[in-house]
Every structure is written in structure tokens, then in C-alpha cells.
Amino acid sequence: MKAGFERFAEENGHYPTALEVDSCPHLCTSRLIQLKFGGLLEARQTLGLKDISFAVGEHKKSLV
């Protein structure tokens, strides 16, 4: 799964959001992530990814 997140980041310049996870063929579904990890935020944290939340910081500023 980490390889899928890294591949997405290489192709798109950021890790996938919840909506992008389901449209990405090399990632499992957001429902499976919810069941296994408790959500996308927890999955990013468990996988040791540096940007775990898009709701705060530079990512949020770039969306506004």
C-alpha cells in the first residue's frame, strides 16, 4: 500500500486525498482503508508518510 501511495505522489505531486484513493487503480478502496486503519489519516501515519493531513498547514493554504 505504501508503494501505491508513493507512486501516486510521484505522478501527482501529492499523496492521494480520500476522493482520489477510490479513482486510483493501484490503491485499495477507501472503504478498506477505513476498515483496516480507521481512516486515511491513520493509514498515512501508520505508513510513515510525511504529509498525513491535508486539512492543515501548507496543503490547506494551497487549496484556498
* pLDDT score at 54: 57
Interior angle at CA 1, CA 25 and CA 52, nearest 5: 105
Q: Count structural domains, the chain.
A: 1
* pLDDT score at 18: 84
- The SS3 call for residue 13 is coil
Q: Global pTM?
A: 0.72
pLDDT digits 0-9 by tens, 12-38: 988 888 889 999 998 999 999 999 999
Give the C-alpha separation, 30 to 16, whole Å: 11
Report the 10 Å Cβ neighbour count for 43: 22
Specify the DSSP class assigned to residue 48: T
Residues of the domain holding 18: 2-63
User: What's the mean pLDDT when you consider all of the chain?
Assistant: 82
Binned at pLDDT 50, 70 and 90, residue 63 comes out as: very low
Greater confidence (55 vs 34) lies with 34
